[in-house]
Amino acid sequence: MRIAFLGGGNMASALIGGLIAQGFDAASISVIEVSAGARERLAARYPVRVSTAPDAATHESDTLVLAVKPQDMKAALASLCGEAASKLVISIAAGLRLADLSRWLGGHARLVRCMPNVPALIGAGITCLYALPTVSADERSRAARILGAVGEVVWVEEEALLDPVTAVSGSGPAYVFWFVEHLALAGEKLGLAPEIARKLAVHTVLGAARLAAQSGEAPGTLREQVTSKGGTTEAALGVFAEERLAERFMRALEAASRRGAELGEQLGKDP
């Protein structure tokens, strides 16, 4: 496998680092990046080929990873239409639909669309993938290997499901950061020193997430196990229920999913 990245930002850098850490040959990776600063950072960190435009390494690659900003994608692809013809193309650009990418690539159909999330930057992400029916089983495995270099991978069989995926896991880290922030702030208001409140909040979320990941129990069952009748946890959860937080949270995710669909429409429009 020879991989060419279009764009060398944070997510591309994380994928490259993950692949190399898993034993992938750095000499088989090339990056097209127009920013001089980003090129210098990549070249200093990894022994990969970095260029400002498609070159021989791009031509020889069998996989092209699209890692530029969604709003810059159409212009960036203008110089790659011919190059993409023989390659598996994997997009990690949020919101961009495969129909629009295919149109900008002259009808190319060996396309996979992915929704990674921010924890991928430390190798702890989860990525959801969708492939067009024209993508082979071997190519799906190739895409899973590349995105699996920065965490877990899951597949959906309908592209429209990537909008709720974005609402749950793409935007999800922000909800967790918000919860940690406010859990710590509540601790401070109850009298804890800021550094203690923050440490308690961060490690409580970290430990609970690890337990949920490693346990064979459903999250609801784990919640019940730590909720003693008449105890402190029940008192807090009772307020959550009174305030109908679950319904409000559902409305928030519905708003995020709708916005994902709207952005897809906007990003795919031709001038």
Q: How confident is residue 21, by pLDDT bands cut at 50, 70 and 90?
A: very high
* All domains in the chain, ordered by first residue: 3-161 (3.40.50.720), 170-261 (1.10.3730.10)
What percent of the chain clears pLDDT 90, i.e. is strictly above it?
Answer: 89
pLDDT of residue 82: 78
Q: Give long-range contacts, CB 8 A cutoff, 24+ apart: 102-107.
A: 102/132, 104/73, 104/74, 104/77, 104/78, 105/77, 105/80, 105/81, 106/81
Cα 97 to chain centroid, rounded: 15
CA neighbor of 98 nearest in space, from 126, 125, 66? 66
Phi, psi of 127 (to 5 degrees): -120, 135
C-alpha span between 119 and 111 (Å, rounded): 24
- Averaged pLDDT score across all residues of the chain: 94
Match 């409580």 to its residue by tokens.
204
∠ CA 11-15-21, rounded to 5°: 140
Q: How confident is residue 270, by pLDDT bands cut at 50, 70 and 90?
A: confident
221 in helix, strand or coil? Answer: helix
The whole model's pTM is what? 0.92
